[in-house]
A and B are shown apart, each in its own frame.
Chain A
Amino acid sequence: MRKAVSINKVFWILLACSFAFALATAAVAVWVTAKPFLTETHKRAVISQAKQEASRIYSVLDPSASLTVYLASEPSLLSFVIGDVTRDDAFVDRLQDTVVPENVSEFFVFDFEGSALSFHMVSTRSHSLETTSAAGELAREVLETQTLAIRTVDTYRAVNTSFQEILIAAPIMNQGFVEGVLTSVLEVDLRQDEVGPGQIAMQARIVDADDPWSADLERQDAIVVPVGKTGMQLVLNSQGTLFATIGQELVLKAIVAISAALLLPFSIFGWLGRQTILRPHAEVERSRNKLREQQKELSELASIARKAEEAILITDLETRIIWHNPAFERRSGYKAKDIIGKKPTSLLQGPETDPATRAEIRKALDARQPITVELLNYRFGSEEYWIRLSISTLFDDEGQAYGFMAISSDITDQKKYEKNLISTTSAMEWQALHDELTGLPNRRCFNVTFEKLCAEKSDEASIAIIRIDLDHFKNVNDTMGHEAGDEVLCRVAQILREEITEHDIPVRIGGDEFIVLLGKDGSLVNAQRLANNMLSRISEPMDYEGKSLSVGASFGVATEECALVEKEDLVRAADAALYIAKERGRSQVITYGPAEHDKVVEVRDVAEQIRLGLQRGEFVPFYQPQIDAQTLEVVGVEVLARWAQPNGNVVSPAGFLEVAEQLSMLTTLDAMVMNKALEDVAELERAQIALPKVSFNVTASRLSDPELLVAIDAREFKDTKVSFEILESVFLDDQPEYLDFTLDLLREKGLSIEIDDFGSGHASMISLMRVRPDVLKIDQRLVYGAPQTEVCQNMVRSIIGIAESLQISVTAEGVETYMHAEMMQSMGCQTLQGFHFAEPMSFEHLKNFLSPTEEPQRKLG
């Protein structure tokens, strides 16, 4: 390959060299033959250009010269020059009224001796000292010659500038006698026009005709042309430079032109060379390389094949063996001399070899298609072994098949493993899909089957689900032991099996819960009948070890026929019906009908609204003030959750608490209300509105929520004390042990603990001493009843007595009337809370309520 590349390179380099040589030769030829002609042509062109330039300069000089002569004859100038007047104001006036060519920059006035009398600028350009000196010299010359003279300021000769200053001096005559000189200074722009294609940039200078320098220039072959009748000459840069430029341009253009001319033939030559020389050569090289690589590969393959574990055979098209590797000998048990020239079928296959596989192999060989099969072979015609056999057809370079290659690996062990695995897997699969105790399909099996049924679209069959839950099954386990429970479950399973048809599937989905899936005839009537039959049989007493066992069952039935829910939701519908059956007293069959559906939908809607409400932050704190019973001042507020719906309704907890709890959203809701309340209290503090205490209702379980403590720690107020109201249920003995720790932690953080609804029944004195709350809030039901019943009064007095003995403050809730207030005060309640003083109110109302200016007069009556 490398060689091919180098030949390729050599070809192109030679071609490029030939091209360059041809180019150079042609350029030299052009240069030698065309130079004299082109030089002459260029010279003429330059002279022509120079004449044009000289003409242009003359057109600038001539009017200026005329003007200078004209002004020199101005009588007022003569009067000034000969001293009749001391100032040349009249001449200046004359000058200002004269249109002066723009090239003219100033005028000098000289007297008869050539002394400068005055000069007048007519443009913004200023002259140099050299100009002044040159003007003086010229004036003296004109005084002598008495004729108009035009000269350059020759100091500029060496300066490479595009402008040149020219002096025009005219004699000031007085009756035929020269009495002074008027000299105008003008600037001639020698800048060349933009040099076009084929033109040569020239540097021009104007020199005086009698200037010896111009003679030198002529000797240097400079191009010199006269500038009109001014006696001046325009000199262009020396021909040496000029023709060097011409030469360069000539060669450059020749090279470009010849390049363009030679490009096509050389391109064709290159293309032909590539087609006729390089490409065939490259093909040969590629073939050689390929052959070498193939030989190498074959050598490597042969080496690999010899060392391979797989048995490799190479046969001719008649499947006679022509080559094999040692592994084949080891596998087949044959030696080389026994197998060369023989067909593998006769050597290796036996009676148990699958004829279909053999036919498949033959078919693939005939079609020259590769094939991989698993085949039973025989070693020495007796010992069986399994191989995985891959056969490929071998083709030569021209694509002609010349043999086959068979590679086989021994899979005897794998075959044995698979055989064992199949038997094992079948047992495991059954176990995975069935309940071990009852032998009924389990929940997994039910899910698969149910999903399958749901996926099938059938217009005829309808599905029904019967959900079964045994009543009081726990009692059986608790009283009779788990064996009895297992027995009950097995008998129930048996009942289910016996009651259903072959199209129905009984399932134990866990514990004492069963489902019967009616896959074929899931009509409502059939399902109800079946459920009732099963209820009837399950409810019958069972005999166990001489004892009678009795369990009941609740049934929830949901059918596709009712068309209340989608198929996929039938299980949930049956669940709902079962829930209702249990609610209604168990041991009954409830069908999921429209009434049940409406209830479910309602709960679901409420749940959805609560979810949205939480997303929108619609749950807000309301505040019910707590009043000191003696001073009637606000001593705190209790935070109560309210749902401020977008339509303006404010919903009390009764409208959402249960559903929220079912949905496990209560923690989120509480956190939202608490955070807002904490912000509100912080705002009160910033507004310097005093609030001694704020109380939150907290469930015992939420007390352990770390986020609760984080939120409290992050509060942005310090003057208002935070209090947690915990339901009396915390005193139940089964409350977690960490509750005490949590309460201690809260106290350390400066929070107070209040026991809410105290007197509703759970408290024990021991627990009360354990918790050591700061406040007891008397259950409002006791407060309501106090004015009417003595029992309630006694209860309240008892609670107050207990509190006093434990040095705990008492708050009376539900103080709705004057009588309630007076009674609670007289009984010794320190704090009163209820509608008699204030209803729960929004934050805005609370602010007004607490505001010193708005604070209403509170009285017990």
Chain B
Amino acid sequence: MVGLMRVIWFLLVCCFAGQSVAGEKLRIYIDADYSMARPAAEAIELGVRTAMSDVANRVGNFEIEIVPKDHRANSKRSYSNLRAFTEDPTGIAVIGGVHSPPYLTHRQDINESGIPLLLPWSAAGPITRPDDDQLNWIFRLSVDDTKAGPFLVGHALNNIECEQTVLLLVDTGWGRANRVTMGDAFQAAGVPAPVVFMFSSSLGPASARTIAEKIKMTNADCAIMLSRAREGALLVNELHQQSADIRIISHWGILSGDFVAQVPHSVRSDLQIEVLQTCGLEVEGKGRAELVQALKNASTEVRPFKRLSDVPAATGFVHGYDLTRLLIAALSNAMEMDGWADGSIVDRRNLFRSSLENLSEPVEGILKTYNRPFAPYSDASQDAHEALGLQDLCVVSFSESGQLVLSETVEPHQ
């Protein structure tokens, strides 16, 4: 009788437990610009889904559902998406899109609302560095502008030996932040402050032409450009149209869209356009197994990826993949923490955030093996939520076919 009771109890437990395990779902939101920077958004999503497919879309006993949200480069839409996430009892994390402005604008709200935001491709430095001792909920696996800006300045001054450089920056929080950091870099290098051209995020051909004319009049030989693909394309085309004898060193923002399609090879070649990148191509060159496996998993019959350059906006794919790997690791750890099982979604998000900051085991990614990529944030450790560093930056250029190739002018890890 006692045995029978035990059997019944066991079955009930298993039944309910099984029901619980089989029924629980966690959602990961992707808040990206699927409209104007569709390639980047899709690349990120591909990276995320590829990483998730590695674990059969399950972490622990939870089915992971990917929920793509288009913010159209509109900070308010992004915020709307984030609000939708907060109201979702299954939403565990948000993977942000390619643009920095939405998160720069709403950084404080994100931290106050406790939204675990993972950014695979956003460069603005302040995003992961909250003010006023706020709990930091934003993590990044991308090039940080506090690193990228000085890196680009150093590249311009030291590698390609620009004599007169102008800054061509989009007039958003991202551009304005870089203006400061790059200005500091020039000052640190003992070079006079460069001429700065700010342009609107809704830049049109006429304004682009005017800016190009003004740049030409400065007789600059280099321009460091921070732009999204559309505006960047407009500007370089106009610069080329003006027959400006200038070289372009661009932040990777232009790779978020179909820059190559809008800028002919002649222009890219004449202007010797170089783009800041993480060192995915170098990794590919070294034949890293994780990359090979990821490309394989991402490929379909219709769309096979043999090389990383086959992937549109490959940076998004690489960073999305690596960040998702970290997410899975952290989520797994969190699920094992006390309070997870009975915790609310808020509690679970908090455990997840804590787990991200305390990944003790190395996590293999495409770019590298991440050893404790994040740590609790404090004023003393400003890079605590940065998974990549200066050593992960490379400069690439475009091949005639438009594929990114390692630039010959620079060595990585400079």
Contact = CB atoms under 8 A, between A and B. Distances in A.
B36 A84 contact: no
Nearest to B203: A75
A319 interface: no
Contacts of B79: 83
B173 to A, nearest CB: 8
Contact of A111 (B35, B76, B101): B76
A179 B201 contact: no
A450 to B, nearest CB: 134
B230 A84 contact: no
Contact of A84 (B77, B201, B207): B201
B102 interface: yes
A174 B101 contact: no
Contacts of B172: 79, 84
Interface in A94-114: 111-113
A76 B203 CA distance: 10
Given A174-B72, A174-B73, A83 B102 contact: yes
A175 B257 CA distance: 13
Given A86-B105, A112-B77, A177 B200 contact: no
A300 to B, nearest CB: 119
A177 B202 CA distance: 12
Contacts of B77: 82, 112, 179
A78 interface: yes
A79 B199 CA distance: 11
A82 B75 CA distance: 5
Given A75-B202, A76-B200, A174-B202, A82 B74 contact: yes
A380 to B, nearest CB: 151
B36 A174 contact: yes
Contact of B230 (A75, A79, A175, A177): A175
Given A76-B200, A113-B80, A84 B72 contact: no
Interface string A64-87: 000000000001101101111010
Contacts of A112: 72, 74, 76-77, 80
A112 B69 CA distance: 14
Interface in B174-206: 200-204
A81 B76 CA distance: 8
A357 to B, nearest CB: 140
A79 B201 contact: yes
Interface in A25-82: 75-76, 78-79, 81-82
Interface string A566-587: 0000000000000000000000
Nearest to B105: A83
Interface string B195-236: 000001111100100000000000000000000001000000
Nearest to B170: A84
Contacts of B73: 82, 174
Nearest to B79: A83
Nearest to B101: A84
Contact of B36 (A76, A111, A113, A177): A177
Nearest to B257: A175
Contacts of B204: 75
A79 B76 contact: no
A174 B200 CA distance: 12
A75 B78 CA distance: 20
A297 B81 CA distance: 124
B74 A79 contact: no
Interface residues of B, number: 24
A175 B200 contact: no
A514 B7 CA distance: 190
Contact of B200 (A79, A83, A86): A79
Contacts of A75: 200, 202-204, 207
Interface string B264-282: 0000000000000000000
Nearest to A90: B200
Contacts of A81: 74, 76
Contacts of A76: 200
Contacts of B102: 83
Specify which of B35, B72, B76 lies most central, judged by the most chain A CB atoms within 10 Å of its CB.
B76
A289 B192 CA distance: 134
A78 B101 CA distance: 14
A83 B202 contact: no
Contacts of A175: 35-36, 202, 230
A78 B201 CA distance: 9
A111 B73 CA distance: 13
A280 B180 CA distance: 122
B122 to A, nearest CB: 15
B35 A177 contact: yes
Interface string A160-177: 000000000000001101
A76 B204 CA distance: 12
Given A79-B202, A83-B79, A179 B36 contact: no
A83 B72 contact: no
A113 B78 CA distance: 12
B80 A174 contact: no
B15 to A, nearest CB: 44
A174 B71 CA distance: 12
Interface in B67-117: 72-80, 101-102, 105
B76 A78 contact: no
B48 to A, nearest CB: 24
B36 A83 contact: no
A179 B200 contact: no
B384 to A, nearest CB: 27
Interface in B151-179: 171-173
Given A76-B200, A175-B230, A83 B80 contact: no
B280 to A, nearest CB: 28
A83 B171 CA distance: 12
A75 B77 CA distance: 18
A177 B75 contact: no
A69 to B, nearest CB: 15
Contacts of A113: 76, 80
A83 B74 contact: yes
A73 to B, nearest CB: 9
A370 B172 CA distance: 135
A83 B201 CA distance: 11
A179 B79 CA distance: 13
Interface in A126-182: 174-175, 177, 179
A179 B33 CA distance: 13
B370 to A, nearest CB: 32
Nearest to B74: A82
Contacts of B200: 75-76, 79
A213 to B, nearest CB: 35
B74 A174 contact: yes
A111 B207 CA distance: 25
Nearest to A111: B76
Interface string B18-51: 0000000000000000011000000000000000
Interface string A169-205: 0000011010100000000000000000000000000
Interface in B390-409: none
Contacts of B74: 81-83, 112, 174, 179
B72 A179 contact: yes
A113 B204 CA distance: 25
A559 to B, nearest CB: 138
Contacts of A82: 72-77, 201
Specify which of B102, B171, B202, B207 lies most central, judged by the most chain A CB atoms within 10 Å of its CB.
B202
A175 B205 CA distance: 13
Contacts of A78: 201-202
Contacts of A179: 72, 74, 76-77
Given A75-B200, A82-B73, A83-B76, 12 more contacts: A79-B171, A79-B172, A82-B74, A83-B74, A83-B79, A84-B171, A84-B201, A86-B105, A111-B76, A112-B72, A112-B74, A179-B72
Query: What 9 pairs across the A-B complex have the smallest Cβ distances?
Result: A83-B75, A82-B74, A75-B202, A75-B200, A83-B76, A78-B202, A84-B172, A111-B76, A179-B74
6 contacts: A75-B202, A81-B74, A82-B72, A83-B74, A83-B75, A174-B74
